Structure 1
Amino acid sequence: MSQFPLVRSDCGETMEAQMTHAKVLFLGSNATQIELRGGGSARIGQYLNETVVPAMALIAAGYDVVLATPDGTKPHIDEASDTAQHFGGDQTAYKRARDFFAEHPAMNEVRTLASVIEQGLDEFAGVFVPGGHAPAVDLMQDREAGAILRHFHAAAKPTGLLCHGPVAVVAALADPAEYRAALIDGDDAKAAHFAQGWIYAGYRMTVFSASEEKIAEEHLLKGELYFDMPKALRLAGGEVSAAPQDFAANVIVDRELITGQNPASDHAVAKAMIEALGGTHTAA
């Protein structure tokens, strides 16, 4: 018997009869290194809780989750996230999350971004991008990720992103690789030029804050990034804000865009995503 049983409603009925089987596309990252100012790099990945908490919540609410990455391989989990600390110190929740990522088909039947585009995006009810530093390396400059985001924007379908994940929305630019290169070069004027016509200009959003990034640079990355995530979004035209307190949960919803600020926002962004999809949130 599966260790991920059907969730039961309060009346004792399994959710099997209630399941919509609508699909939510998860855009995962394949990046394992990020550039540091002055040379060198830091080992990074996708955050465990930011991936599995929303995925498990969506599945519990009756949605199917389809994971796709640029090269079709499973995302690397950032070692800094592989701890019970990101699950409120709950060892049982942490183990369940690790088992889910290791064993559940939704986390292992990985597609390429190209293949989901080729098969057709209309079958998906929404799209979600987990965080960790990894999306700031590949997804934010990936043209296929950009095509996917433009599709969900045009269809006004829920588009959820968490922590560093929101920076992936710059992939919807006409030339996201040039935009990212301008950020690394510190050429704000050039970046602003490549940001013209961005579909998310004027949207309210949040992302891992500059002050939170300073803490991550000191304690996790052991070096300085070339750009922080709020700057990357503001230069493109986003109206970025953060919670008054670092690492406090914060979610902003503006039209179809649902953004969560940091790892502590995992449950809140999952709840907002499910509500936007029209489902009922069930604690995973």
Structure 2
Amino acid sequence: MPATKKILVVVTNVDEYENAGMRTGLWLGELTHFWDVAERGGYSMDLASPSGGKVPIDPESLSHDVLAELGTGKRYADRAFMDLLEDTKKISQVNLEDYDAIYLTGGHGVMYDFPQSQDLEDLMARFYETGRVVSTVCHGATGLLNVTLSDGEPLVKGKRVTGFSWPEEELAQRADAVPYSLQEELKKLGADYSTAAKPFDTYVVEDQRLITGQNPGSARAVAEAVVNRLAAA
């Protein structure tokens, strides 16, 4: 498999919770922190989403304190970068051969459209079974929940993974708004799920070509792990 030096980044199209009035969408830092590291590593990236088109941004990820963290505000002020979120590629239009890796961002919106996208599930399985790197951060791991490999087994079965934990949902005051517990759903599939010692600490789990990060603050570390894995391939 020749290296393309390109990574596919997947984002949500959903902007609200189904059973609460709060708005949601992409957690912007989970995109920008990964992008910064991968770009410095020599990779270019394309954005795709289940439905294509415009990507909503979680308003809480645009607070002053969050934007100031790790340079997110610089990307937010970059017109060319933010315009990329106005017209994303549709998952069904993605050519697998164009990419070395796939990365699924989070934000609570993904809890609704990632597990319901057959196109995304099929693409994730093909990425993994063709020897490419599959990576997620935070709620992005919801995109692993319905991925079945050609042997009929869930991709995550027996794999070491992480993702946004239930204690973190409670601390974020979203336990009553989310449709399910990502932590419990991963465990039900037979994943070897683990977390950092403290909620919201940076935590990344690598199981060969499957790389997962626990929370928004782990996006940069996920990118570093992906770049290192690709360099070692």
Measured in 2, the distance between the counterparts of 1:144 and 1:214 equals: 31
1:26 corresponds to which letter in structure 2? V
Deviation at 1:234, TM superposition (A): 1.0
Which consecutive segments of 4 or more residues in structure 1 shift more than 6 A?
none
SS of the residue corresponding to residue 101 of structure 2 reads strand
The corresponding residue for 1:211 is 167
SS of the residue corresponding to residue 33 of structure 1 reads coil
The corresponding residue for 1:111 is 89
The corresponding residue for 2:18 is 35
Contact 1:204 1:254 in 2 (8 A): yes
- What's the TM-score, normalizing by structure 1? 0.74
How has the CA–CA distance of structure 1 residues 129 and 251 changed in structure 2, closer, same or farther, with 3 Å as cutoff? same
Contact 1:25 1:65 in 2 (8 A): yes
Identity of aligned residues (%): 25
| Unpaired runs of at least 5, structure 1 | 1-19, 175-195, 280-284
Alignment of 1:1-284 (within 5 A): 22-36=5-19, 40-86=20-66, 89=69, 93-100=71-78, 102-104=79-81, 107-108=85-86, 110-116=88-94, 120-173=95-148, 197-216=153-172, 218=173, 221=174, 223-278=176-231
Alignment RMSD, CA only? Answer: 2.2
Contact 1:49 1:97 in 2 (8 A): no
Deviation at 1:56, TM superposition (A): 2.2
Instruction: State the number of aligned residues.
Output: 227
Contact 2:169 2:175 in 1 (8 A): no
Contact 1:21 1:64 in 2 (8 A): no
SS of the residue corresponding to residue 160 of structure 1 reads strand
2:209 corresponds to which letter in structure 1? E
Measured in 2, the distance between the counterparts of 1:98 and 1:24 equals: 21
Measured in 2, the distance between the counterparts of 1:41 and 1:231 equals: 24
Measured in 1, the distance between the counterparts of 2:193 and 2:183 equals: 6
- What's the TM-score, normalizing by structure 2? 0.89
Give the number of the structure whose alpha-carbon radius of gyration is greater: 1
SS of the residue corresponding to residue 159 of structure 1 reads strand
SS of the residue corresponding to residue 278 of structure 1 reads helix
SS of the residue corresponding to residue 200 of structure 2 reads coil
1:44 corresponds to which letter in structure 2? T
Deviation at 1:204, TM superposition (A): 0.4
How has the CA–CA distance of structure 1 residues 71 and 210 changed in structure 2, closer, same or farther, with 3 Å as cutoff? same
| Unpaired runs of at least 5, structure 2 | none
Measured in 2, the distance between the counterparts of 1:84 and 1:99 equals: 12
